[in-house]
Amino acid sequence: MKTAVQVALVTLLAGATVPAAPAEAAVAVQRTAVCHAGGYSGTLTLRYETDGGFHRMLGGYTTSGPYIGDVAGTVRLQISYRSGTTTQTVYSRSASTTGSTTFTMPSATAVPVASAGTAAAKFDNGTASCTATVPIG
């Protein structure tokens, strides 16, 4: 009898359906790069997630100076990728800054996973400039 019950349980379990695993949520990636020009420096932090064959930009943040707020200047953020021998720019914006700037990008800002992408922030305070570049992917 014990063997028959065990066989019945094994048969029941073998025929049971296992629910499909839930789809994995996209994982946010944060990358940071720093540049220097003498005592002047800039930092770019970029956040993106990978989903559906694209790296989708979530936003960016920059800081510059030796101290935030000490020198007014400009920052230009450009996000692009290479497709063959062509460079495609998917986002470009310049802003005045006194040390920190937040970039909010349209939800359609994306780089194909199969392409080499970069985000480059060029900082300029009028006397010094440098570019911080973050790889995407």
First-to-final CA distance of the chain: 60
Residue 30: its pLDDT value, please?
98
Quote the CA–CA distance of 47 and 63 in Å, as a whole number. Answer: 15
Instruction: Quickly list H helices, 30-127.
Output: none
Contacts of 73 (CB under 8 A, 6+ apart): 64, 96, 97, 98, 123, 124, 125, 126
Residue 80: its pLDDT value, please?
98
Q: Which helix (H) or strand (E) element contains residue 37?
A: strand 28-37
The third-level CATH classification (topology) of the domain covering 28-136 is Immunoglobulin-like (2.60.40)
What does the domain layout of the chain look like in residue ranges?
Answer: 28-136
Q: Give the closest residue to 119 by CA, choosing from 102, 105, 132, 110.
A: 132
Taking only the tens of pLDDT, the chain with its 137 residues reads 444 444 443 443 344 444 444 455 678 999 999 999 999 999 999 999 999 999 999 999 999 988 766 668 999 999 999 999 999 999 999 999 888 999 999 999 999 999 999 999 999 998 999 999 999 99
- Give the single-character DSSP code of 4: H
Q: Buried b vs exposed e over 36-72: b needs ≥16 C-beta within 10 Å? A: eeeebbbbbbbebebeeebbbbbebbbbbbeeeeebe
Residue 115: its pLDDT value, please?
96
Residue 15: its pLDDT value, please?
43
